[in-house]
Amino acid sequence: MKAMILDGQASIEERPLRLADLPTPSPDDRQILVKVSVCGACHTDLDEAEGRLTPTKSPVAPGHQVVGRVADKGKAVTRFGIGDRVGITWLFSSCGQCKLCRTGRENLCTQAKWTGKDADGGYAEFTVIGEDYAYPIPEQFSDAQAAPLLCAGVIGYRTLRLADIADGQKIGLFGFGASAHIVIQIIKHKFPDSPVFVFTKTAQHAELAKTLGAVWTGFSGDRPPEKLDKIMDFTPVGECVRDALAVLERGGRLVINAIRKETPVPPLDYAQYLWLEREMKSVANITRKDAEEFLPLAARIPIVPTIEEFPLTQANQVLCSIKHSRLRAAAVLNVG
């Protein structure tokens, strides 16, 4: 099978992903073999390629926003049949036995494995996944529309849950790419009386934010007309943490959705930025429950992802565009 693989980390401008022929994997008793149609590309893939996040498998086919159809299955599989359309997320597996897994926090499991990092992902014509870690795709979404829902959408939904919003609260979004442009659609559906303020560095992202209902747009460091009750930071930029806290209301909460910050978080004066019961919380990965709750919700709203499609062989160029904020929203690689 054809795959874009990573076997050495380097600046994405050096094109560390290369096209290769790999053996088609075989599913074990509880796994399904998925013939990949499309796979989303995101900042986590860029972090792997450039060395901020190190895969445990090498070479590895990245990609964790996978949509395809079941081509084969193990003898113990009961949830899916041949030909079923399924989606695969970042969570490849968890131990199921530790106290974190037993209390619904498998996203923090120390033995968890991650699609496209610890196991081959969707930058390949076929991939395997345990049947309990794959999800039916609502019929109304095309394959390309569904792909960003499996990462940007699901992790955005978890971020929103951790923000603990009450309708009417003023909401801030730092960064307006693949995840935030889905989150704002959930906010407008679930919290119609909550105004949304968007901080972004590109004119095209600001335009999209206004189209989707933002009442104000500006740059990180700008001051909106009023303090914000809840803020979600989707950026890889450390300075955004300080800038978000500077516009956070007393008793407000900042939720940071980033595996790594590419630039350091600046020193924070406690009295200025954190006192008066302001909170910071990070988002780490996702659970199966997040995906199981979000995908039907996305269909009911319905979420309309803004996507740009590219052939799989352009994976390096696409990740370079993500690095330099050249894409309008979510990138999708056509694999099948």
Over residues 213-257, the pLDDT tens digits come to 999 999 999 999 999 999 999 999 999 999 999 999 999 999 999
Last residue of a domain, one of 282, 300, 324: 282
Which residues, 6 or more positions from 99, have their beta carbon under 8 angstroms from its beta carbon? none
Domain co-membership, 272 together with 291: no
Q: In the predicted model, what is the mean pLDDT of residues 99-122?
A: 98
Q: In the predicted model, what is the mean pLDDT of residues 130-156?
A: 97
Domain co-membership, 71 together with 88: yes
Domain co-membership, 8 together with 136: yes
Among candidate residues 146, 176, 156, the one with its CA nearest the CA of residue 39: 146
Block residue for tokens 């081509």: 71
Q: In the predicted model, what is the mean pLDDT of residues 190-206?
A: 95
CB-based contact 286:179 (threshold 8 Å):
no
Tell me what pLDDT residue 262 has: 87
Last residue of a domain, one of 239, 257, 282: 282
CB-based contact 224:172 (threshold 8 Å):
yes
Residue 329 has pLDDT above 90, yes or no: no
Tell me what pLDDT residue 94 has: 98
How far the first Cα of the chain sits from its last, in Å, is 11
Tell me what pLDDT residue 213 has: 97
Domain co-membership, 313 together with 216: no
Domain co-membership, 173 together with 268: yes
Range of the domain at 106: 2-151+286-334
Residue 211 has pLDDT above 80, yes or no: yes
Domain co-membership, 6 together with 147: yes
Q: How many domains does the chain have?
A: 2
Report residue 260's pLDDT band, with 50, 70 and 90 as the boundaries. Answer: confident
**% of the chain exceeding 90 in pLDDT:** 94
Tell me what pLDDT residue 336 has: 85
Block residue for tokens 């395997």: 128
Which residues, 6 or more positions from 100, have their beta carbon under 8 angstroms from its beta carbon? 106, 108, 109, 110
Q: In the predicted model, what is the mean pLDDT of residues 322-328?
A: 89
One-letter-per-residue 3-state SS of 148-178: HHHCHHHHHHHHHHHHCCCCCCCEEEECCCC
Mean pLDDT of the chain: 96
Residue 259 has pLDDT above 90, yes or no: no
For residues 153 and 155, give the distance between their C-alpha atoms in angstroms, rounded to a whole number. Answer: 6
Domain co-membership, 136 together with 55: yes
Over residues 79-95, the pLDDT tens digits come to 999 999 999 999 999 99
Among candidate residues 90, 102, 71, the one with its CA nearest the CA of residue 133: 90
Over residues 20-42, the pLDDT tens digits come to 999 999 999 999 999 999 999 99
Domain co-membership, 18 together with 29: yes
Q: In the predicted model, what is the mean pLDDT of residues 202-215?
A: 94
CATH number for the domain spanning 173: value is 3.40.50.720
Burial class for 1, CB neighbours closer than 10 Å (0-12, 13-18, 19+)? middle
Over residues 263-310, the pLDDT tens digits come to 999 999 999 999 999 999 999 999 999 999 999 999 999 999 999 999
Domain co-membership, 78 together with 106: yes
For residues 96 and 110, give the distance between their C-alpha atoms in angstroms, rounded to a whole number. Answer: 11
CATH number for the domain spanning 68: value is 3.90.180.10
Query: Cα dihedral angle (268, 270, 276, 279), rounded to 10 degrees?
Result: 50
Tell me what pLDDT residue 66 has: 98
CB-based contact 194:178 (threshold 8 Å):
no
Among candidate residues 321, 327, 336, the one with its CA nearest the CA of residue 305: 327
Q: In the predicted model, what is the mean pLDDT of residues 194-201?
A: 96
Domain co-membership, 226 together with 322: no
Q: In the predicted model, what is the mean pLDDT of residues 137-149?
A: 97
Instruction: Look up residue 5 and give its two tokens.
Output: 């693989």
Last residue of a domain, one of 255, 282, 309: 282
CA–chain centroid gap for 94, Å, is: 18
Domain co-membership, 215 together with 255: yes
CB-based contact 31:92 (threshold 8 Å):
no
Domain co-membership, 114 together with 212: no
